[in-house]
Structure 1
């Protein structure tokens, strides 16, 4: 790792999406106010691991002074750093504000591109960022689907509960615009597949098709679902837990050990608002091993004579 370039601070730069569409729903300024003024989306550039932003010494108050806000003490953990405490049960805070708070604070998030099918054979395709893997033995994933109105689930949720199966597909940069178009608020009966131009591929074990353009797809059977109710007893969301029955990984993206090449997969992540992130600059940080760390003089000093750290 010593031959890698040093970690450097990078500011966010907003770029215009390729082939921007004019009819953008709910464009929060300034993101959509002048997309043509932004630099073009650059398809080139490869992820290059850099050295970890390492602490200077073992002291807990020590931080990488090259990063923004460190010298001024914003990352010190001291009492003089101001925080805003937010109570979600405060009646003065509306649910839209809580939504903005959570999706902008809990980032980055992977995007689950969910394909589902109804008991009548109608298909649906939509992206969800309340999504992640849950277990590898057995392989499980979860997605939380918010309801547009209390007790009125989205088509995806409705279809999954009907047929007990769905596919989850990872969105990559080459088709991110088409994937985003499936988030359109189309009425029931309108196919997001046709609108987006994406390719449905037959699954091996379930009825719901997978996305042909996706380099990483999972066929899932419904393992469990959990309805979420707000303080008014309205059902506002449903957590779906799916058991993965098949993985489909493009051959050039995976090695013999089943490790997926993120650099080639080009996955996108969801940030706040309508902002998305690219996985291009990465760094590696090895996990400490206790049997080795406990013998270091710096660690012994922190632990003290009784071998226990003082908090």
Structure 2
């Protein structure tokens, strides 16, 4: 395992203050924690995750194991490879390739109409928007987040597909939470408390164990025990352990927090977003190149999130160079030709 710190050094710079992340919506860090603890004491048996799962009804199968048994076995022989793009001869101004109107694809046809959906139309429940969005914004990267409470007693491990990187200097990542700061999920609760975590990337080799950590266990019950994964307490900048089985991990500090209010029910807090600042990267030595600036996908074997209870694996990729305006488009003259061809005027 290779470890290297970011340009931030050992003490990451918090954008607002050195000790307190910015919290929008006029809620201080202290009051958020007080409210969170109060909510948990009042309803210890019903976790936020339990309530949400009851509303979302993610699993469409009454007998999942029977459905799974009817499917082909996992193809362990499938290896990562590159293929050509759909149309290697595509030229600027060419529009959609041949797949757009191909009878072999159910997703595209110029004759098919689009329908408009108002997310707040009368009678449309919020879980409908959730199910629609997670089935269309795909594939989504998964942040496998390890947190620990400030006093170090409560450890949590959970997967998040409301996750992505948003900057590289400084390294910044975003996590989204359904719910409010006064009734936070366990990960958010620990983040507000300790202001640190590790973000790990899920690989094929431990997907079942990673999924197990999404269980609606009560606060204080460690998902590490449920998963059987291995916590490694060798992080330099944070106390939260990283996942030994993960090919790539990042030590992170809490940079900022923002809370969102429902549009359908004004005054009700329904979402929170945290920005995390990476302070140190960990990568398995066989996965990183000599310059330590590229991770091999055939070693990482990342899993992604799709709709419902579906995951995706990455076994094929294409490469398409980013075009250069002067060289590839032909500069202003070439662009003007494309413009005239597009509007059909020739002028």
1:286 aligned residue? 321
Query: What corresponds to 1:209 in structure 2?
Result: 241
Aligned to 1:267: 302
SS in 2 for 1:251: coil
2: distance between equivalents of 1:31 and 1:131?
30
Identify which of 29, 37, 42 aligns with 2:75.
Answer: 42
Tell me how far apart the structure 1 counterparts of residues 67 and 224 of structure 2 sit (CA, whole Å).
29
TM-score (normalised: structure 2): 0.74
Q: Which residue number corresponds to residue 14 of structure 2?
A: none
Counterparts of 1:1-311 in structure 2, within 5 Å, are 27-29=59-61, 32=64, 34-54=67-87, 56-65=90-99, 68-69=102-103, 74-76=108-110, 81-121=112-152, 122-147=154-179, 151-202=182-233, 203-231=235-263, 232-257=266-291, 258-295=293-330, 301-304=337-340
CA distance in 2, matches of 1:71, 1:144: 33
C-alpha distance in structure 1 between counterparts of 2:253 and 2:144, whole Å: 15
Distance 1:291 1:45 in 2: 40
* Higher normalized helix content (fraction of residues): 2
Cα distance change, pair 51–223 in 1 and its aligned pair in 2 (3 A): same
Q: Report the number of matched residues.
A: 279
Q: Distance in 2 between matches of 1:153 and 1:69?
A: 47
Q: 1:173 to 1:58 in 2, by over 3 A?
A: same
Q: Deviations over 1:201-248 (max 9, x none)?
A: 111111111111101000000011111111322222210101101100
Structure 1 gap ranges (5+): 1-24
Distance 1:236 1:135 in 2: 26
Give unmatched runs, 5+ long, in structure 2.
Answer: 1-56
CA 1:56–1:219 in 2, change beyond 3 Å: closer, same or farther? closer
1:3 corresponds in structure 2 to none
Distance of 2:306 and 2:139 partners within structure 1: 5
Shift in CA distance, 71/190, structure 1 to aligned 2, threshold 3 Å: closer
For 1:150 and 1:92, the matched residues in 2 are separated by: 27
Aligned partners of 2:298, 2:101: CA distance in 1, in Å? Answer: 25
User: What is the alpha-carbon distance in structure 2 between the residues aligned to residue 225 and residue 72 of structure 1?
Assistant: 41
Cα 1:71–1:176 shift into 2, 3 Å: closer
Q: Provide closer, same or farther for how the CA distance between residues 210 and 66 of structure 1 changes in structure 2, counting only shifts above 3 A.
A: same
**TM-fit CA distance, 1:41:** 1.0
RMSD (Å), alpha carbons: 2.7
The separation in 2 between residues aligned to 1:61 and 1:304, in whole angstroms, is 15
Cα distance, 1:303 vs structure 2: 3.2
Give the distance between the partners of 1:273 and 1:56, measured in 2 at CA.
35
Indicate the SS of the match to 2:167: strand
Flag the structure with more relative contact order, 1 or 2, with Cα contacts below 8 A and sequence separation at least 6.
2
What displacement does 1:29 show? 3.0
